Amino acid sequence: MGWGDVISIGLGLGNAALNASNASTLQQMKLQQASEAMYREFISFARNGLFHLKQTAENVLTGEDESPLKAAGAMRILDYQLSSSGITPDLFPELVDKEYAAATTKLISGNSNRMYTALDADGRTQVNQLVEHIQQLTDLQYYLEHADSVSRLRTNENANNVGSAMQNKGCLISLGLFALGTMLAMISIELGVLTGFAAWIVGIVGLIQLVRNRNTTNAAQKTLKELESTIDLPRFNLLNQKFLSTEKAKLLQKESEQYVENFFGDYTLLQDGWRA
């Protein structure tokens, strides 16, 4: 059989319904009693994802006799994807959906364990490494996809911090000059007037700068909110500690791609712009 569907599901590309984010959203909607139409739409989305997963698992079973190792690896990927998705029978309100989810879980998990234990030690090691590379590719894809956005996010945060610091500094200078002018006025009216005038100038300049920066600051804050709403920053930061840089991440990505393709003996599995 072709292994493309398995890889696509394992990378979370061919079955977007089966991911932890969607399962979490579904659970929240259930607890918060979201609108019936929205909840049922999400249920349908998850149901279709399970159907696709079950079909793929059945296709894998048809290729078991021809290639036990590849089939075991493919089923292990499906098992990993299903377990990590968080989709469980209790998320569904209808009994028929609960039963279907339970049957799909039993089909995949049961066969995954059976096929895995039937392998020798070397085969199990290869399958373990395959799943690790699939997991790593998923993380690498997320990291590289959002690296530029996080860089922009941090640049905007730094710009906002610098702008606030400069405004605060201008206010402090102006207040300091006014205080100094008051003290000098007790000694010399001319010195006090000059110092007070300097404070007035600093204050006016600061006010003009504040007005000029307002639109820029508002735009930067809007960009920050947009980026923060689309990026899981805690996840990205953990991945950044792991991969260190986009250059290293790209090297690891190539290594993992090569392992997956070598395992299945198909060097077109991760081609055709799968990262797009």
pLDDT of residue 91: 82
| Residue 70: per-residue pLDDT | 94
Give mean pLDDT in consecutive 10-residue pieces for the chain, a chain of 276 residues.
Answer: 74 52 53 62 81 91 93 94 85 90 95 97 97 92 88 66 51 49 48 45 49 55 62 87 94 93 80 50
For 86, left (φ over 0), alpha (ψ -120 to 50), or beta? Answer: left
**Residue 205 parent element (H or E):** helix 189-230
Distance separating alpha carbons of residues 140 and 265, to the nearest angstrom: 22
The pTM of this model reads: 0.69
Q: How far apart are CA 80 and CA 63, in angstroms?
A: 19
Task: Return the DSSP state at 267.
Answer: T
Q: Tell me the angle at which helices 233-243 and 121-185 cross, rounded to the nearest 10 degrees.
A: 110
Q: What is the pLDDT of residue 259?
A: 94
Task: Tell which phi-psi region holds residue 88, choosing left (phi > 0), alpha (psi between -120 and 50) or beta.
Answer: beta
Q: How many CB atoms lie within 10 A of CB 224?
A: 17
What pLDDT, on a 0 to 100 scale, did the predictor assign at position 92? 86
Per-residue confidence (pLDDT) for residue 136, from 0 to 100: 92
